[in-house]
Amino acid sequence: MSEEVKVFGTLGSPMSCRVELALKLKGVQYEYIEEDVHKNKSPLLLKYNPVHKKIPVLLHNGKPIAESLVILEYIEETWKGNPILPEDPYEKAMARFWARFLDEKCLPALWNAAWSPENEREKAVEEACDCLKTLESTLKGKRFFGGDTVGLVDIAAIFIGFWLRVLQEATGQELLSAEKFPDLVKWTDEFVSCSVVKESLPPRERLWAFFKARVAGAMDAQTNASK
């Protein structure tokens, strides 16, 4: 039976990347459609995600699913090979909890720490480091958050695995240091060296250029603000 699987995403978006990674991990063939979310969202995107009007959207045999974590669970329940969630209900609940923690606390804190103005930076960095500390202790020396294989939480943490290091280079601000978070840094190395993860990531130079441009823009804004 031929299946139609499409992913509406944006190059450079970690949320979009999560979905592609999960599909690749499970060996699911799909068509990728690039969306210009900043300037020109396609009518199809607006049709398939009228509530949030955002990427990623997964379209499976004409049925759309939005919100990356919801999509990941759908992928898990639909294609059974290479499971990304544990079978045990308690372990599953924990994985969901950590994925939610990443989205609600950790990623916003990291993003905030990178871009907050001078006077708010110290507090923002402290919050970000608290989150990283919590993640570090969750990892507990395991190879992946999912144990021996990549799981839901690893996929959800892809921003930390890849984006964060590029962001740190572009801003010159180190949040994820090997001294403070050795297990987490080791995890990022392990994670991005997986071939299926490598295949799913955006080109590093483009991401770096994007962040660098944003840094320059932020500095201009600050300079202009103080004139």
* Binding footprint of another protein on the chain (CB under 8 A): 51, 60, 63, 65-67, 70-71, 73-74, 77-78, 89-90, 92-94, 96-97, 100-101, 105, 134
Backbone angles phi, psi at 143, to 5 degrees: -70, -45
Q: Which is nearer to another protein, 74 or 208 (CB)?
A: 74
Q: Which is nearer to another protein, 35 or 67 (CB)?
A: 67
At closest approach, how far in Å is the CB of 178 from another protein?
A: 24
Asked whether the beta carbons of 55 and 6 are under 8 A apart, the reply is: no
Q: Which is nearer to another protein, 43 or 89 (CB)?
A: 89
At closest approach, how far in Å is the CB of 166 from another protein?
A: 27
Q: How far is CA 180 from the centre of its chain?
A: 22
Looking from the CA of 14 toward its CB, the CA atoms found within 13 Å total 18
Which candidate, 75, 84, 69, 88, places its Cα nearest to that of 150? 84
User: Is the preceding peptide bond at 83 cis, omega within 30 degrees of 0?
Assistant: no
Q: Which is nearer to another protein, 94 or 196 (CB)?
A: 94
At closest approach, how far in Å is the CB of 134 from another protein?
A: 6
